[in-house]
Amino acid sequence: MLTELLVAVAVLLLLLSSALPRAGRYGAAHAVDLAARETVMELQHIREHALGNGKRYGDRWIISLRSGGYTVLHNGAAVRERSYPKNVCVASYGGRQCYFEFDDKGKPLGKHMQIILRQKNAAYERKIIIAAQTGRIRIE
């Protein structure tokens, strides 16, 4: 009975030890997925403001994206600032700061239509794509 219990515990520990390195790898990919989802939610939030209020009322919402995170601006004042986890970076735009804004029909203003978030070691990435004609935001 004791021998069977020891063998069962040994097998369980062997299985757990083989799963731990994978969990760390997926944890880093999960950080990229989470950062992409949060960024998409903020983009959709400012798009909804643009659709509802429009620029005709002087209500202007912008996301200022930088290498380590983003800032949500309302009429030029910072409302929220979000930093990405240490192992997540913005791979698009060469580290330059860029801005995302929508018109009163929900279409993006400006030339930036894609955001690439990736791990620092470039092992995993997610693309956030904004459709130029409709303003639809999706993650690939």
- Domain segments of the chain as ranges: 2-139
Specify whether the CB–CB gap between 50 and 103 falls below 8 A. Answer: yes
pLDDT score for 26: 65
Superfamily of domain 2-139: minor pseudopilin epsh domain (3.55.40.10)
pLDDT score for 36: 94
Count Cβ atoms below 10 Å from residue 108 Cβ, excluding itself.
Answer: 22
Backbone angles phi, psi at 60, to 5 degrees: -120, 120
Specify whether the CB–CB gap between 61 and 50 falls below 8 A. Answer: yes
pLDDT tens per residue, the chain (140 residues)?
778 888 888 888 887 777 665 555 567 788 999 999 999 999 999 999 888 876 666 788 999 998 889 999 998 899 999 999 988 988 877 667 889 999 888 899 888 889 999 998 888 999 999 999 989 999 99
Strand partners, 63: 72, 100
pLDDT score for 97: 84
pLDDT score for 71: 95
The token duo for 83 is 């930093």
How far is C-alpha 10 from the geometric centre of its chain's CA atoms? 40
pLDDT score for 90: 87
